[in-house]
Amino acid sequence: MSLPGVDRSLVEQAGLRLSAHVRHTPLIHDPPTGIWLKCENEQLTGSFKLRGALNRCLQLTPAELGRGLVAASAGNHGQGVAFAARLLGARATIVVPSDAIECKVEGIRSLGADVRTVPGGYAAAELEGERLASESGGVWISPYNDPEVIAGQGTVGLEIERQWGDAQLGGQAEVYVPVGGGGLAAGIGAALDTFRPSVRVIGVLPENSPYLHSYFHAGSMAGVVESPTLADGLSGPVEEGSITLSLVNRFVDDMVLVSESEIRAAMKWASSRKIISEPSAAVAIAACLRQSSGARLAVVSGGNVDPRLWQEVTLDGGA
């Protein structure tokens, strides 16, 4: 069964397309807690976002590439698009919000993209990026509202399947996935759909930006109040009419929220295991740490963390 053109077969096609271009990241086990960690923080750009951006861009025609690429990003998607543009010989313009983490912005610049900063948060950057793409004729690369981007993100699920194996997938297991726009959770859910209901995909959001949590449980994002969150990559509203809205209802089994203090504690826990986890990735770890038993896996979606925040959080007493 498929919705808006996304199913396991599309994810498998993306896997073949990306195989030679992305890193197949490790899956590691933490014996004291029993938690498994899928380490997308070790991806080439430090984040899973490369998979979706590159899968979309690899299918563009020479004429489309010649028009240039445009994206909006809090950082990680922008790096993915910039990487794809450099690989394919295209120009890229990335619109970032004024509150974007500087190390992520520098990562975009280092890959050769033109960075434009706009006042406000991610929603303002997305509006400006879409306007710029329309005005310039550039190809808009959405971070989540695109079947091929979602399929690329879903290749994380294919790797989990191969690495976890029948021993885990044959029994009851839970896969915790960070959620902002919902593309990663929808893609992984599509990849692992054949293993449901024994394998449950659970989306995790910060309490301070619960947009898709509200949609999943109440059918609407109206009235959601957003507060500042450490998980910058998960903040901001979801584009109206995004295909991820129906996809998460089909491929995701539950949505849960974690607090800012839990995010900090999860980052510190990761540090004690020598894993660098940005706050947006730590939400999945935080949800896993609530559970004391059972087969459970956290997708560590990225490791592009502000060095000052990392030092603050991981020092003794920082959690």
Mean pLDDT of 88-104: 95
Mean local confidence (pLDDT), 157-173: 87
- Range 8-47+147-314 has CATH code 3.40.50.1100: yes
Task: Look up residue 236 and give its amino acid.
Answer: G
Residues 6+ apart with CB under 8 A from 245: 182, 212, 215, 238
State residue 167's pLDDT score. 67
Class of domain 50-140: alpha beta
Q: Amino acid identity of 90?
A: A
**What is the reported pLDDT for 240?**
85
What's residue 123's pLDDT?
A: 87
pLDDT class of 154 with cuts at 50, 70, 90: very high
Sign of the Cα torsion 72, 77, 83, 85 reads negative
> Per residue in 185-211, pLDDT tens?
999 999 999 998 999 999 999 999 999
pTM for the model: 0.95
Reply yes or no on whether the pLDDT at 256 is more than 70. Answer: yes
Q: What is the dihedral of CA 230, 104, 280, 253, to 10 degrees?
A: 140
Residue 314: pLDDT band with limits 50, 70, 90 = confident
What is residue 70's three-state secondary structure? strand
The pLDDT score that the predictor gives to residue 165 is: 83
pLDDT tops 60 at residue 225: yes
- Considering 20-29, 96-105, 163-172, the range whose residues carry the highest mean pLDDT is 20-29
Residue 319 has pLDDT above 70, yes or no: no
Whether 316 has a pLDDT exceeding 70, the answer reads no
Q: Dump pLDDT digits (tens) for 99-119.
A: 999 999 999 999 999 999 999
**pLDDT score of 317:** 53
User: Catalytic residues, which ones?
Assistant: 49, 301
Query: Which of the four pLDDT bands, split at 50, 70 and 90, describes residue 158?
Result: very high
Buried residues in 285-300 as b, exposed as e (16+ CB within 10 A): bbbbbeeeeebbbbbb
Provide CB contacts within 8 A for 134, sequence distance 6+: 140
The dihedral over CA atoms of 123, 124, 129, 135, expressed in degrees to the nearest 10, equals 130
Question: Residues of the chain with pLDDT > 70: what percent?
Answer: 97
Element housing 71 (H / E): strand 69-72
Angle between helices 260-272 and 279-289 (to 10 degrees): 90
Burial class from Cβ neighbours inside 10 Å (0-12, 13-18, 19+) for residue 171 reads exposed
* Apex 137 CA angle, 136 and 141, nearest 5: 105
Q: Do domains 8-47+147-314 and 50-140 have the same CATH topology?
A: yes
For the chain, domain boundaries: 8-47+147-314, 50-140
Hey, what amino acid is at 304? N
- Looking only at the bridges linking them, the beta strands covering 295-300 and 173-178 are parallel
